[in-house]
Amino acid sequence: MLLLIDAGNTRVKWACIDADSANDHLPFPPAWEAIASVTHQGFDQLLLSIRHYSVVRCVMSNVAGDAVKQELAQLLSISFPDLQIQSFNSQAQCAGVRNHYLHPGKLGSDRFASMIAAHTQFPNKNLIVATCGTATTIDALTADGDFLGGMILPGLQLMANSLAKNTAQLPHIEQHAQLSNLFATDTDQAIASGCVHAQIGAIHCAVKNLEQHTGAPVQLVISGGAAVYLVPHLKLIEDLQWRHSENLVLTGLWIASHLTQASIPS
């Protein structure tokens, strides 16, 4: 069994999948044996969930820092003492994606994995890959697999928290984000509307810019925990090609783990 881990700033997502499940015709979505997420305080639950699997490999994307990686490694060694955790890091090229970051290794490994998944799932298409979590990342990828660069902005709740931190108003985005009125008549709703439409505006701007750059249509691929709050608003934009694709990072790790098994450093 292959264990995939996406260690993010707020949560750790994980999936187990048959280590031999991939082939030249990758199915989408992957046939996960199990998939879930835990908070940084819930690693014991991760161990309980996977301890009955025969895990022979583990590939991890980690943007949460060394302390999180070490804690996960220590816990996994309890049930799987011989398990080697392979770190997935951004590189100049992998699985058809060419990384044109100024310093390719400094690109977040989660962003690189997401682009690998999107490029494989939507071949021969110009893509904007928007991953909406604690932060929102918006990345441009050509049909040939060239990563041109991207944007990073605060995620929905982080944006709302920052706006409201000096007031008594601290809206929970999930309670207001799907309201249809752009011009709100309540402070909490106004904050939510501003945050949602700031995200939508940045994503739409990226799509239009890549269309100008390539002279061809662009497919938006949106993922992440906060994507569900943006999707209703994407539906209102005419001529926007978009797909909501879940678990892009884990899917990218799965693809890369098979195509580059021998080259992922431990």
C-alpha distances (whole Å) from 64 to each of 10, 71, 207 are 8, 11, 29
Burial (CB count within 10 angstroms: exposed 0-12, middle 13-18, buried 19+), residue 66: exposed
What whole-number distance in Å separates Cα of residue 100 and Cα of residue 113?
Answer: 15
Q: Which of 66, 110, 144, 186 is catalytic?
A: 110
Could you list the residues known to form a binding site for substrate, using ranges.
101, 108-111, 187
Whole-angstrom distance, CA of residue 142 vs CA of residue 98: 10
C-alpha distances in angstroms, 201 versus 157, 250, 251? 16, 27, 27
At which residue do the structure tokens 């990384």 appear? 99
Q: Is 110 a catalytic residue?
A: yes
Q: In what order do the strands lie in the sheet with 34-39?
A: 34-39, 11-17, 2-7, 57-62, 85-87
**Longest CA pairwise span in the chain (Å):** 59
Annotated binding site: 6-13, 101, 108-111, 134, 187
Cis peptide before 30 (omega within 30 of 0): no
Question: Strands, E, within 165-266: which ranges?
Answer: 218-223, 241-244
* Catalytic residue list: 110
